[in-house]
Structure 1
Amino acid sequence: MKKVISVFVLVFAVAFSANAQEKMMKEAATKTIALEQTKGEFTQKQITVNAGTYVFEISNNGVGHDVGFVLVKKGQDISKPENHIKTAYVTEVVKDGKTQTSKATKLAKGEYVYFCPLNPTSTDNTLTVQ
């Protein structure tokens, strides 16, 4: 009976360790793109990154009201919510002086535009993924 319990504990420990390592590897592969908004604009107008998984970190620096974040594949109609990459939305509006993040978003090679409809910012901000 002790051997059965020992084997069960050992198998459980190995499985738990493998799951923890897999989760850590997945999190390590996620990078952050930090963007700052001021009144009427993003301070970063053009960004170039490699293809991969990213979290967007949006800072509200003195806008005076809540801001958000929208990412769209370049060439698509930005006014249509179905074209927005919803995982890139911040998980809650960004209060003045605060920072919020998006969910992890997988970016493929190509060009994207980003903007804030609440600020409002230019729709000429470009994210290039190589």
Structure 2
Amino acid sequence: MKKVISIFVMVIAFTLTTNAQDNMMKKGSKEAMVETISLEQTKGVFTQENVTLKEGSYIFEISNNNVGHDVGFVLIKKGTDASKPENHIKTAYVTEVVGNNKTQKSNITVLEKGEYVYFCPMNLTPQYTLTVE
């Protein structure tokens, strides 16, 4: 009877360990599929004027290179009214404003094929094109 219980305990332990490893691998795979896009702002401009990406999941990393005040990041579908916050892709907002000579990241943003526009209303940058192929 003790051997049966021992074998049963070992099978349960093996099953739990395997499930935990599978879950870790799935989680790691999801994180591996997210790419970080670094964009730098200087006074009144982004240094990257056009960006082309593939469909997928992205985190935007925004750097404030001596602008002298806080900056942010707005991403919208091309052709929508940028002045209306309901058109902003909110997951692309940085999680907090980007202080002078600091860097902040957005949440994960899923982009489908199409054209987008990015800009910073706090730094009064032009609107730049982001194309997803």
The two structures have a TM-score, normalised by structure 1, of: 0.96
Structural mapping, 1:7-46, within 5 Å: 7-46=11-50
Alignment of 1:99-118 (within 5 A): 99-118=103-122
Q: Which runs of 5+ in 2 are unaligned?
A: none
Q: Which residue of 1 aligns with 2:54?
A: 50
RMSD: 0.9
Q: Amino acid of the residue matched to residue 29 of structure 2?
A: M
Aligned partner of 1:2 in structure 2 is 6
Q: Which runs of 5+ in 1 are unaligned?
A: none
d(CA) in 2 for partners of 1:71 and 1:6?
A: 52
Query: 4+ runs of 1 displaced by more than 2 Å?
Result: 1-5
Question: SS in structure 2 opposite 1:94?
Answer: coil
- Which structure: larger Rg? 2
The Cα shift of 1:3 comes to 2.5
* 1:126 corresponding residue in structure 2: 129
Q: In the alignment, does 2:95 pair up with 1:95? A: no
Aligned residue pairs, count: 129
Give 1:7 shift: 1.9
